[in-house]
Structure 1
């Protein structure tokens, strides 16, 4: 219970595709989302977002700017305070790892056909990064 600090990155490549991961664990296992996870002690939110992208997808990114913060239930009575960042692809081949069952690039049009985590499209619209 309580609040867990987390960071995530909305990663785009030079063709404007989005990098998403298929969640392997709860909450929302089996749904596509942006890569992210818990902030480690002493770590900045930006560093945590970049680390989580690398751990979950094998891709190195450059964090560009903070998009906003969302609160999400963790499924155990607590809250994740997720700091979201815009990031751009730098290098690496996409390979799902860590707690991601899959990781892939998707166009904006493809996003609406996927089983996404709750309000992902809404958040991307509010942040001004979709479509």
Structure 2
């Protein structure tokens, strides 16, 4: 029996200095790694709406999506699932980031692209490859 592919989404949020907003995952897939905020797409919810909703739930910020940056894939990175996720470019339009779900996230931070954490999730690696 084959498993279904899961659909998620995320956003690459850059600040005025060109730093990237990352959160540290505490749960699988890729527990302990730093990645883009986002989450699972609910049936009937558009991916763009999911990205805005999930990031508001995770970090307490409202974002504006400015484009589709790439499509990310995570295949069995600790949860036995295959995830496909659009990753959007975005910017904060309201609020200051804070961890809203401490059971899911160990922290957040702004990172210079030349000085990213050692452990990164596959979607951030896909996003970095798409940036050239």
Sort the TM-score into its range (normalised by shorter chain).
0.7 to 0.9
Q: Which residue of 1 aligns with 2:34?
A: 32
Q: Which residue of 2 aligns with 1:96?
A: 99
**Structure 1 gaps, min length 5:** none
Q: CA deviation at 1:119?
A: 6.8
**Equivalents in 2 of 1:28, 1:77: separation in Å?**
11
Q: Which residue of 1 aligns with 2:128?
A: 125
Q: CA deviation at 1:76?
A: 4.1
- Contact 1:23/1:30 (8 A) holds in 2: yes
> Which has the higher mean CA deviation after the structures are superposed, 17-26 or 93-102?
93-102
Following superposition, which runs of at least 4 residues in structure 1 exceed 4 angstroms of deviation?
A: none
Q: Aligned with 2:68: secondary structure?
A: strand
* Offset from partner CA, 1:81-107 (integer Å, 9 cap, x none): 111111112121111123222111112
Q: Aligned with 1:108: secondary structure?
A: coil
**Equivalents in 1 of 2:79, 2:19: separation in Å?**
33
Q: Aligned with 1:85: secondary structure?
A: strand
How does the TM-score come out when normalised to structure 1? 0.85
How does the TM-score come out when normalised to structure 2? 0.85
Counterparts of residues 1-131 of structure 1 (less than 5 Å): 1-74=3-76, 75-98=78-101, 99-111=104-116, 113-118=117-122, 120-121=124-125, 123-128=126-131
Q: CA deviation at 1:62?
A: 0.3
Residues 12 and 69 from structure 1, CA distance in 2 versus in 1: closer, same or farther, beyond 3 angstroms?
A: same
* Offset from partner CA, 1:4-40 (integer Å, 9 cap, x none): 1101000111221111000010111111000111011
